Amino acid sequence: MNYWKEFRKGIWERNPQLVVGLAFCPTLAVSTSVSNALWMTLAASFVLIWSNILISSVRKVVAKHLRIPIFITIIATFVTVVDLLLNAYRPDVYKSLGIFIPLIVVNCIILGRAEEFASKNGVLVSILDGLGMGIGFGLTLVVLAVAREILGANKLFGYTLIPGMKPAAAMIMAPGAFFALALMLWGMNAINARKKRK
Amino acid sequence: MEIKVFVTILLSTIFINNYVLSRMLGLCPFLGVSRKLDSAIGMGLAVIFVMSLTSFITYPIYKHVLVPNGIPYLVTIVFILVIAALVQLVEMVIKKISPALYHALGIFLPLITTNCAVLGVAVLNITSGFAEPGASMGLLKSVVQGFGGGIGFTLALIIMAGIRERLEIADIPENLRGVPITFITAGLLALAFFGFSGMKI
Residue boundaries of the structural domains of chain A: 3-144
Q: At what angle do helices B179-194 and A174-197 cross, to 10 degrees?
A: 170
Rounded-to-integer distance, Cα A102 and Cα A99, Å: 6
Do B180 and A72 lie within an 8 Å CB cutoff? no
The answer for residues whose C-beta is within 8 angstroms of residue A46's C-beta and 6 or more apart is: A78, A82
Beta bridge partners of A160: A155
| Residues within 8 A of A (CB atoms), B 100-119 only | 114-116, 119
Cβ atoms B120, B23 nearer than 8 A:
yes
Which residue of chain B is at minimal alpha-carbon distance from A71?
Answer: B81
Which residue of chain B is at minimal alpha-carbon distance from A78?
Answer: B77
Which residue of chain B is at minimal alpha-carbon distance from A172?
Answer: B22
Q: What is the pTM of this model?
A: 0.90
Phi-psi region of A10 (alpha: psi -120 to 50; beta: other; left: phi over 0): alpha
Residue type (1 letter), A88 = A
Rounded-to-integer distance, Cα A48 and Cα A109, Å: 8
B123–chain A Cβ distance below 8 A for any pair = yes
Task: Compute the Cα dihedral for B85, B87, B88, B92 and give only its sign.
Answer: positive
- The pLDDT tens digits of the residues spanning B127-136 come to 865 444 445 5
Interface of A with B (CB under 8 A): 21-22, 24-25, 28-29, 69, 72-73, 76-77, 79-80, 83-84, 98-99, 102-103, 105-106, 108, 111, 170, 173-179, 181-183, 185-186, 189-190, 193
B75–chain A Cβ distance below 8 A for any pair = yes
- The pLDDT tens digits of the residues spanning B56-114 come to 999 889 888 998 898 888 999 999 999 988 888 888 888 888 888 787 776 677 778 77
CB-CB neighbors (< 8 A) of B22 in chain A: 174
- The mean per-residue pLDDT over the stretch A61-90 comes to 92
- The pLDDT tens digits of the residues spanning A120-174 come to 999 999 999 999 999 999 999 999 999 999 998 888 888 888 888 888 888 888 9
Of B74, B124, B183, the CB nearest to A181: B183
**For A1-66, where are the alpha helices, taking DSSP H only?**
3-8, 24-30, 34-57
Do B184 and A108 lie within an 8 Å CB cutoff? no
Distance of CA B126 to the CA centre of its chain: 16
Cβ atoms A154, A31 nearer than 8 A:
no
What spatial distance separates the first Cα and last Cα of chain B, rounded to whole Å? 16
- The mean per-residue pLDDT over the stretch A33-61 comes to 94
User: Counting Cβ atoms within 10 Å, is residue B165 exposed (0-12), middle (13-18) or buried (19+)?
Assistant: middle
Rounded-to-integer distance, Cα A122 and Cα A120, Å: 7
B22–chain A Cβ distance below 8 A for any pair = yes
Which residue of chain B is at minimal alpha-carbon distance from A21?
Answer: B179
